[in-house]
Amino acid sequence: MIISSQPANLSGTSSAHMSEEGVESDCSCVGVAVAVGESAATTTAGAGTGAGVGLMMGRAARQMQTHAMEAEKPPTPPPPPTPATATTTTTTTAAKTTTHRASLTRPASESELLVGTGTSGTSSSGGGRPGHRKSSLALALTPEDDSMDVYQRNLMDLKYPTVLPPNPQLKALLVFHKSDSICEVVTLACQRHQLDVTLVKSKEEALETLHKSYATAQCYHLIIIDARSTKGLDAEHIARTIRHTHGHHLTTIIAVCKKSFFEKDDALIALLDAGVNRCIAETTNLTLCSVELKQILHSIIRPHNVMSTQQALYTALHRLKEVVLITDDVLRIQYANRATERLLNMRLDEIISKPLGDIFVSDLSTISEQGKSIKEFDGILMVRRKNQESIPMHVRVVPVACIGSAPTHLIFNFDIPGGGMDFIATLPQPKEAPRGSLHSVRRCSFDVRSIASDGLRRTSLAKLTSLPLEAPITKIINLLSQVQENCSADEARLIDKVLDFLKREGLYSPQMKEIRTDDPIATDLIGALLTGPSVYSSRRSSNDSIIRTGNSTRTATIVPAKMKANPIIMELLEESLKWDFDIFKLEEITDYHPLLYLGMEMFRRFDVFATLNIDENVCKAWLAVIEAHYHKSNTYHNSTHAADVMQATGAFITQLASKDMVMDRMDEATALIAAAAHDVDHPGRSSAFLCNSNNPLAILYNDLTVLESHHAAITFKLTLGDDKINIFKNLDKETYKSARSTIIDMILATEMTRHFEHLAKFVSVFGNEMEPRELVQSEEETSILMRRMLIKVADVSNPARPMQYCIEWARRIAEEYFMQTDEEKQRHMPIVMPMFDRATCSIPKSQIGFIEYIIQDMMHAWDGFIDMPELITCMQINYSQWKKYDEQGVNTLADIMAKQPPVGNKSSSSK
Ligand SMILES: Nc1ncnc2c1ncn2[C@@H]1O[C@@H]2COP(=O)(O)O[C@H]2[C@H]1O
């Protein structure tokens, strides 16, 4: 006695709604996968577009037209089953039990076998070798009889080739609490049908075995659970759990129940509801059990295999470049492939279930009439796209009967009159993975063979695919390509654009075109800051001479200045962590040694002496030497700027700590050291200038990150070059290595050509709702991003300082730019920022541009992270002030300075 479940276990695939008749009908009209020429078999997702039609038609359809109706004839009936003989069933040793093997591999006795063979199914007949399945063709083409000669006969009968379903060695997992006689009979029945049997005794063991089988892609096709009593095993629970286990939603589950269960249906229905496909009654009769099992193999497991073949065909159809639409007999759209979406410029949900009349301008009555009389249509129809544009299409309509003789579906196959596919070319192209990505190479493995005529190329591509290399960007591109498989035409187009950008070089590099071209100051300044020096190289004049900058022989002559215990300095330094700290006053009262004083204060506050395990005097000497290597003649890039950046760094570290984002002591120390040294030996000219003048530094660093490379290198050259100033000398090797790497990374991060790259990365990690630690980045990677942003913001924080300081910094940088322009003019060099000409420059405009393009977003991102609203407030006040000056025509340095109250006692460097 058997109670069958609904074939609910088939749901979840697009083939779910197919009747078996539908499946059989399919065999007459496939061929798409071959026509598409893509690796359909590798893609299982995406084909399930919701169509409930078991019919296919593609390029092959054209040639098939004349045979189409023939194809609708019922398939050739399979020959009757061949009676099995006793001698054909002596193959029970096939089973490879992995668990409790000893109890299962007992060969069946002759008598048992004789009893069991009378009515058993046929697939084990024919002398099949133990553990070896017969030709897959047999199962595929002759569902009721798998002997080779029958297969050949049927193949001859088939007008159109079919796709063979997979035919793996079937594996059965038996979950029996104990190996009693029932368990033995089930085992023997399985072995009789050449199933590879594994026996387990508990739910845990069963799930572990299933997990392993999934992990090794060796899933079980059949699971038989002992459901006779809930004492040993809770079959209902096991079935439910299995259904929720990865890879087992389609596995066939059988429950062996007590005979008495079949008298009241509650228990059986509960089992079926839990995901069991069929309940069978316990029996010690091997024949009965074997027949039950054979029926299960035929009625459940084989259809699953056939269904999986349909999935491959759906995938092929989905990828087809030709437009294929399938309607039901009343012309409601049941299926549309992706080419249809592109043609109509509509999403699938806008197409499916709609009356066909919605997309055709032409009268369709002829088609439906002809459909009823089972004739084909071949002619021109006007198709209406989403934008109401009408286009003529050559349409072929083939009626298909799935059940009975009346057509149940109509297959529409479109192309352009005259065969020109130019129209399609103007639409978004099929979603191929970007060229060059490993994904594209993998997906197009068939194409590789056909396109690459020379074997060498083929081999190298094949090698490429097997390399375990995949950049994160490739992963992103692959993921997006996967998304494209199933999205609407509009979304696919957008993703195309995204992919286009992702494939470009310099992902995070700013694009000049985004800068307003009618704003020459912004164009000049931002262009000079954000683009590499190469843009200027073509403008280099031939008579440029090599100049030497800096003085790298100062080390020996530096004598650390005696620090005066000046109460005014000490009082000022009390405020050294405040955002409105007066760095210019410190510059003045320390006699232009702000870095030494501020540096010592910061080192003391953040316990750097202890962290580096170094004497205070070494630190003092180090600061003095570093300060001495800042050029006093620079109006902006002097040691006051270094002290200012160090002060901002200290303020940020303090704020981070107050927000429970404490940096470790070494990170604090390295951040302060990097800040102090980040512009050391700056020549007061930009990298572009150095490149244009063939400066030795530009030659040394190949025009790349010239100044920042120099600042980092000279920092270590000076530090390691003199034991008296070597602040790292007591660090162990590993700690030193890591500290050095952090300092170099931070100094290099101040290079403005990579400004947007750093900002974008920071925002993508910290601007996210998720906790940074939940993102792909490691903790170390996120802390690197944070440190880079910290020093960058500190470096260009001057527009977010209180207004009088902001204006003074603007004056200093403008003056330094002017001096560069002066020299460029004088030496007939390319002028990097022509607008920074002291005679004509508008300082407010330059500051407005600088804030708008560089500072604003960064400050908001940083404030969002660190929570220092005073940065934003100051920046906004300054911005309004610059706007006001601009409106008032207060442009030159002189005009602006005339409006300011005195700041400190201006030095020669700040005049
Ligand atoms: N207020 C400002 N106005 C214009 N440019 C600035 C200003 N502050 C900093 N900069 C530029 O930003 C750059 C940051 O890196 P540098 O310190 O090498 O050089 C800096 C200057 O070129």
Q: Which of 856, 843, 853, 852 is nearest to 884 (CA)?
A: 843
| Ligand 1 atom closest to 641 (CA) | 17
Q: Which of 302, 289, 115, 300 is nearest to 190 (CA)?
A: 289
Cα angle 428, 432, 437; round to 5 = 135
Q: Whose CA is nearest to atom 8 of ligand 1?
A: 796
Q: Give the other-Cβ count within 10 Å of 99's Cβ.
A: 16
DSSP string, 364-378: -HHHHHHHHTT--EE
Query: How far is the C-alpha of 557 from the C-alpha of 555, rounded, in Å?
Result: 5
Token pair recorded at residue 577: 């962590």
Q: Would you say the CB of residue 268 lies under 6 angstroms from ligand 1? A: no
Specify the higher pLDDT residue, 909 or 899.
899
| Ligand 1 atom closest to 810 (CA) | 1
Token pair recorded at residue 591: 């006699």
Amino acid at 231: K
Specify the higher pLDDT residue, 449 or 654.
654
- Residue to probe by mutation, ligand 1, list 678, 679, 813, 879, most atoms within 8 Å of CB: 813
| Ligand 1 atom closest to 750 (CA) | 15
CA 591 to ligand 1 center in whole angstroms:
24
Amino acid at 53: V
pLDDT digits (tens, 9 = 90+) for 573-607: 999 999 999 999 999 999 999 999 999 999 999 99
DSSP string, 240-267: HHHHTSTT-SS-EEEEEE-GGGGGSSHH
Q: Would you say the CB of residue 688 lies under 6 angstroms from ligand 1? A: no
Sequence-ordered list of residues with C-beta below 8 angstroms from that of 299, at least 6 positions apart, any chain: none
- Report which secondary-structure segment, H or E, holds 152: helix 148-157
Query: How far is the C-alpha of 475 from the C-alpha of 481, rounded, in Å?
Result: 10
Output the furthest CA–CA distance in the chain (Å, rounded): 116
| Residue list, annotated binding site for Zn(2+) | 641, 678-679, 795
Q: Would you say the CB of residue 815 lies under 6 angstroms from ligand 1? A: no
Q: What is the 3-state secondary structure (H, E, C) of 166-184?
A: CCCCCEEEEECCCCCHHHH
Using pLDDT thresholds of 50, 70 and 90, give the confidence band for residue 678.
Answer: very high
- Residue 831 Cα distances to 536, 686, 817, 836, 843, angstroms: 9, 11, 11, 9, 18
Specify the higher pLDDT residue, 674 or 62.
674
Sequence-ordered list of residues with C-beta below 8 angstroms from that of 838, at least 6 positions apart, any chain: 818, 821, 822, 892, 893
Specify the higher pLDDT residue, 646 or 776.
646
- Say which range, 249-253, 528-532, 581-585, has the weakest mean pLDDT: 528-532
CA 343 to ligand 1 center in whole angstroms:
52
Three-state DSSP state, 240: helix
- Residue to probe by mutation, ligand 1, list 640, 796, 821, most atoms within 8 Å of CB: 796
Sequence-ordered list of residues with C-beta below 8 angstroms from that of 721, at least 6 positions apart, any chain: 555
- Residue 256 Cα distances to 231, 267, 284, 332, 595, angstroms: 14, 12, 12, 44, 85
Q: Report whether pLDDT(432) > 60.
A: no
Percent of the chain with pLDDT over 70: 66
Specify the higher pLDDT residue, 438 or 177.
177
Specify the higher pLDDT residue, 392 or 191.
191
Q: What is the per-residue pLDDT for 90?
A: 31
Residue in the block written with tokens 């979603």: 431
Q: What is the per-residue pLDDT for 127?
A: 34
What's the distance, Cα to Cα, between the start and end of the chain in Å? 104
CA 52 to ligand 1 center in whole angstroms:
64
Q: Whose CA is nearest to atom 12 of ligand 1?
A: 796
| Ligand 1 atom closest to 751 (CA) | 15
Amino acid at 273: D
Helical residues (DSSP H) of 662-749, grouped into ranges: 665-677, 687-692, 696-700, 706-721, 733-748
Q: Report whether pLDDT(721) > 50.
A: yes
CA 543 to ligand 1 center in whole angstroms:
29
| Ligand 1 atom closest to 817 (CA) | 22
Q: Would you say the CB of residue 236 lies under 6 angstroms from ligand 1? A: no
Q: Report whether pLDDT(21) > 70.
A: no
CA 569 to ligand 1 center in whole angstroms:
28
* Exposed/middle/buried for residue 260 (C-beta within 10 Å: 0-12, 13-18, 19+): exposed
Q: What is the per-residue pLDDT for 442?
A: 25
Q: Report whether pLDDT(333) > 50.
A: yes
Q: Would you say the CB of residue 850 lies under 6 angstroms from ligand 1? A: yes
- Residue to probe by mutation, ligand 1, list 634, 710, 752, 885, most atoms within 8 Å of CB: 752
Q: Report whether pLDDT(350) > 80.
A: yes
Q: Report whether pLDDT(521) > 90.
A: no
- Residue 674 Cα distances to 306, 420, 599, 790, 795, angstroms: 67, 64, 11, 11, 11
Q: What is the per-residue pLDDT for 884?
A: 94
Specify the higher pLDDT residue, 480 or 132.
480
Token pair recorded at residue 445: 């493995």
Token pair recorded at residue 489: 């035409």
Three-state DSSP state, 199: strand
CA 799 to ligand 1 center in whole angstroms:
10
Query: How far is the C-alpha of 798 from the C-alpha of 433, rounded, in Å?
Result: 46
Q: Would you say the CB of residue 750 lies under 6 angstroms from ligand 1? A: yes
Using pLDDT thresholds of 50, 70 and 90, give the confidence band for residue 164.
Answer: confident
Token pair recorded at residue 61: 């359809």
- Residue to probe by mutation, ligand 1, list 850, 852, 875, 882, most atoms within 8 Å of CB: 850
Q: What is the per-residue pLDDT for 342?
A: 82
R_g over Cα of the chain: 39
| Ligand 1 atom closest to 529 (CA) | 22
Cα angle 279, 282, 285; round to 5 = 125
Give the range with max mean pLDDT: 132-136, 437-441, 691-695, 782-786.
691-695
Q: Would you say the CB of residue 636 lies under 6 angstroms from ligand 1? A: no
CA 795 to ligand 1 center in whole angstroms:
8
Q: Would you say the CB of residue 322 lies under 6 angstroms from ligand 1? A: no
Q: Whose CA is nearest to atom 22 of ligand 1?
A: 529
How does the average pLDDT of the chain come out, rounded? 73
Specify the higher pLDDT residue, 214 or 388.
214
Q: Would you say the CB of residue 817 lies under 6 angstroms from ligand 1? A: no
Specify the higher pLDDT residue, 558 or 630.
630
Q: Would you say the CB of residue 835 lies under 6 angstroms from ligand 1? A: no
| Residue list, annotated binding site | 637-641, 678-679, 795, 847
Q: What is the 3-state secondary structure (H, E, C) of 296-348?
A: HHHHHHHHHHHHHHHHHHHHHHHHCCCEEEEEECCCEEEEECHHHHHHHCCCH
Catalytic residues: 637
Q: What is the per-residue pLDDT for 679?
A: 98
Query: How far is the C-alpha of 121 from the C-alpha of 290, rounded, in Å?
Result: 8
| Ligand 1 atom closest to 678 (CA) | 17
Give the range with max mean pLDDT: 190-204, 398-412, 520-534.
190-204
Q: Would you say the CB of residue 752 lies under 6 angstroms from ligand 1? A: yes
- Residue to probe by mutation, ligand 1, list 519, 525, 529, 817, most atoms within 8 Å of CB: 529
Q: Whose CA is nearest to atom 21 of ligand 1?
A: 813
Q: Would you say the CB of residue 672 lies under 6 angstroms from ligand 1? A: no
**How much is the average pLDDT of 323-345?**
88
CA 844 to ligand 1 center in whole angstroms:
15
| Ligand 1 atom closest to 854 (CA) | 12
Token pair recorded at residue 867: 């929570």
Using pLDDT thresholds of 50, 70 and 90, give the confidence band for residue 401.
Answer: confident
**How much is the average pLDDT of 856-868?**
93
Q: What is the per-residue pLDDT for 60?
A: 35
CA 649 to ligand 1 center in whole angstroms:
17
| Residue list, annotated binding site for AMP | 637-641, 679, 795, 847
Q: Whose CA is nearest to atom 20 of ligand 1?
A: 796
Q: What is the per-residue pLDDT for 562?
A: 63
Residue in the block written with tokens 């699953």: 304
Q: Would you say the CB of residue 795 lies under 6 angstroms from ligand 1? A: yes
CA atoms within 13 A of residue 737's CA, in its CB half-sphere: 3
- Report which secondary-structure segment, H or E, holds 435: none
CA 458 to ligand 1 center in whole angstroms:
52
Three-state DSSP state, 596: helix
Q: Would you say the CB of residue 810 lies under 6 angstroms from ligand 1? A: yes
φ, ψ for residue 36, nearest 5 deg: -70, -35
757 contacts 705 by C-beta, under 8 angstroms: no
CA atoms within 13 A of residue 145's CA, in its CB half-sphere: 16
CA 813 to ligand 1 center in whole angstroms:
7
CA 797 to ligand 1 center in whole angstroms:
9
Token pair recorded at residue 909: 């460097």
Q: What is the per-residue pLDDT for 541?
A: 36
Q: Report whether pLDDT(203) > 70.
A: yes
Q: Would you say the CB of residue 853 lies under 6 angstroms from ligand 1? A: no
Give the range with max mean pLDDT: 130-134, 391-395, 446-450, 680-684.
680-684
Domains of the chain by start residue, with CATH: 86-312 (3.40.50.2300), 323-424 (3.30.450.20), 438-502 (no CATH), 522-910 (1.10.1300.10)
Q: What is the per-residue pLDDT for 32?
A: 30
Using pLDDT thresholds of 50, 70 and 90, give the confidence band for residue 451.
Answer: very low
